[in-house]
């Protein structure tokens, strides 16, 4: 196999676009992918690229950034390429939630150019109103300086075209496979199947299901549970998910949220419309950048109906009220 025949896919991972499900599937099926499809999701933690546990490649690239040793990184990927050539592997998948990183694009470009990789960059993008609600559930509610999701929204920039600035300095739009994270664009309810299609696999037959836990699935919960967790936010930092990990298996089904393609209901239809209006120009620029079908917006799902029968989620809960709602005793 020639060097140029090893193609590398960089899944640059905007957070809140099914990344946890994709990573857990690839990690669980590392050996199956090699044996049946000649695809390597490399273990960058151990001594064997094709075996062992390595959920994400983020920790490796964080170490590269910390040590600022890009030459060692380039050499390491040369070793990975050689491994692929020796094992008859023709595709490599690298995944890290690095969409918002201004350092990673140049890092990737050096890996590609120095090792003569054919490549594509896989990017899932989520509509701003959905992203805001999901990010509030994941991080925003833990910030003691923020009283509400609207405070959180005011503190962030959801202009995805602007966020791509550093990437577009290094790569051409044709280098990307851009996928709007919505049912209308994916054509299915499973982002893992969509991802597999992108790398040449038609379905999940013959693969193992990842363990069903919050780390692998990043489970959603109803707004009342988010409000409960907000009462406990003095015990957590933004990236500490232990509380959600511990309670997710205990929650009754009515307090779980399993469909990633619908609104949490935290924002009203008018609030969601206001967000989309603000980023309308940015989303149209993305459509022009990545698609040739003259679509006016990168996202195909219709905007919310302002007359939708929406009820605001309960706010300001006490622990006693939460106990009555869920039937559990919470100790924060």
In a domain, 61, yes or no: yes
* Percent of the chain's residues with pLDDT above 70: 91
Other beta carbons within 10 Å of 299: 22
The answer to whether residue 298 sits within a structural domain is yes
pLDDT of residue 229: 80
pLDDT at 246 over 60: yes
Domain count of the fold of the chain = 2
Query: Has residue 171 been placed in a domain?
Result: yes
Mean pLDDT of the chain: 89
In tens, the pLDDT along 292-326 reads: 877 889 999 999 999 998 988 876 666 666 665 55
Q: How far is CA 229 from CA 11, 160, 225, 247, in A?
A: 31, 29, 6, 10
In sequence order, the 6+-apart residues with CB closer than 8 A to the CB of 195 are 11, 18, 22, 122
Q: What is the mean pLDDT of residues 267-296?
A: 93
The answer to which of 44-53, 82-91, 142-151, 241-250 has the lowest mean pLDDT is 241-250
Question: 102 and 26, same structural domain?
Answer: yes
Weakest mean pLDDT among 63-67, 171-175, 250-254:
250-254
The answer on 123 and 38 residing in a single domain is yes
Q: What is the pTM of this model?
A: 0.90
Q: Which of 19-28, 78-87, 248-257, 305-314 has the lowest mean pLDDT?
A: 248-257
pLDDT at residue 313, rounded to an integer: 81
Residue given tokens 């990437």 in the structure block: 167
Q: Is there a single domain that holds both residue 257 and residue 201?
A: no
Residue at which a domain ends, from 188, 217, 246? 217
Q: Is the pLDDT of residue 2 over 70?
A: no
Please list, residue by residue across 101-112, b when 16 or more beta carbons sit within 10 angstroms of its beta carbon and e when fewer do: beebbebbbbbb
Is 157 within the bounds of a domain? no
Q: How confident is the model at residue 231, as a pLDDT?
A: 77
Closest CA to 232 of 241, 243, 222: 243
Please check whether residue 142 lies inside any domain of the structure: no
Whether residue 311 is found in the same domain as residue 254: yes
Confidence of residue 165 (pLDDT cuts 50, 70, 90): very high
Q: What is the model's pLDDT at position 294? A: 78
Query: Does 180 map to a domain?
Result: yes
- Residue count (the chain): 332
In terms of domains, do 64 and 205 share one? yes
Question: Does residue 1 have a pLDDT over 50?
Answer: no
Q: Residue 243 class from Cβ within 10 Å (0-12 exposed, 13-18 middle, 19+ buried)? A: middle
Average pLDDT estimate for 56-76 = 94
d(CA 248, CA 246): 6
pLDDT: is 62 or 221 the higher one? 62
The domain spanning residue 14 has which CATH number? 3.40.50
Same domain, 73 and 204: yes
The pLDDT, as a whole number, for residue 3 is 44
* 83-102 pLDDT per residue, tens: 999 999 999 999 999 899 99
Per-residue confidence (pLDDT) for residue 179, from 0 to 100: 96
Instruction: Judge if 203 and 283 occupy the same domain.
Output: no
Give every CB contact of residue 136 below 8 A, 6+ residues apart in sequence. Answer: 149, 152, 226, 264, 266
Please tell me whether residues 287 and 243 are part of one structural domain. yes
120 φ, ψ (degrees, to nearest 5): -145, 150
**Same-domain status, 54 and 43:** yes
Domain range for residue 106? 3-127+162-217
Task: Enumerate the β-bridge partners of residue 125.
Answer: 180
Distances (CA, A) of 276 to 127, 166, 198, 261, 288: 8, 23, 28, 16, 17
Say whether both 167 and 272 belong to one domain.
no
């Amino acid at each position: 196999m020639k060097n140029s025949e090893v193609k590398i896919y960089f899944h640059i991972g905007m957070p809140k676009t099914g990344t946890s499900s994709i990573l857990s599937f690839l990690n669980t099926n590392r050996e199956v992918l090699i044996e049946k499809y000649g695809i390597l999701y490399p273990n960058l933690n151990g001594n064997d690229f094709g075996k062992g546990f390595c959920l994400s490649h983020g920790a490796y690239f964080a170490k590269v950034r910390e040590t600022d040793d890009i030459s060692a990184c380039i050499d390491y990927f040369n070793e990975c390429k050689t491994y692929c050539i020796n094992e008859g592997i023709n595709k490599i998948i690298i995944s890290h939630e690095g969409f918002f990183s201004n350092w990673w694009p140049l890092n990737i470009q050096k890996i590609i150019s120095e090792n003569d990789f054919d490549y594509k960059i896989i990017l899932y993008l989520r509509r701003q109103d959905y992203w805001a609600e999901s990010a509030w559930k994941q991080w925003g509610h833990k910030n003691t300086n923020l009283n509400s999701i609207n405070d959180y929204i005011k503190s962030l920039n959801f202009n995805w075209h602007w966020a791509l600035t550093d990437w577009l300095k290094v790569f051409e739009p044709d280098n990307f496979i851009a996928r709007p994270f919505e049912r209308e664009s994916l054509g299915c309810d499973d982002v893992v199947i969509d991802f597999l299609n992108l790398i040449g696999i038609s379905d999940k037959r013959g693969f193992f299901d990842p363990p069903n836990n919050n780390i692998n699935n990043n489970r959603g919960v109803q707004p009342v549970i988010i409000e409960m967790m907000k009462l406990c936010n003095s015990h957590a930092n933004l990236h500490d998910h232990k509380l959600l990990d511990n309670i997710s298996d205990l929650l009754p089904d009515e307090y779980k949220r399993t469909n990633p393609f619908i609104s949490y209901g935290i924002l009203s239809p008018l609030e969601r419309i206001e967000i989309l209006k603000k980023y309308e120009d940015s989303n149209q620029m993305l459509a022009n950048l990545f698609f040739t079908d003259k679509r006016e917006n990168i996202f195909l799902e219709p905007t919310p109906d302002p007359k939708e029968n929406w009820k605001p989620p309960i706010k300001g809960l006490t622990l006693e009220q939460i106990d009555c709602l869920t039937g559990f005793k919470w100790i924060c």
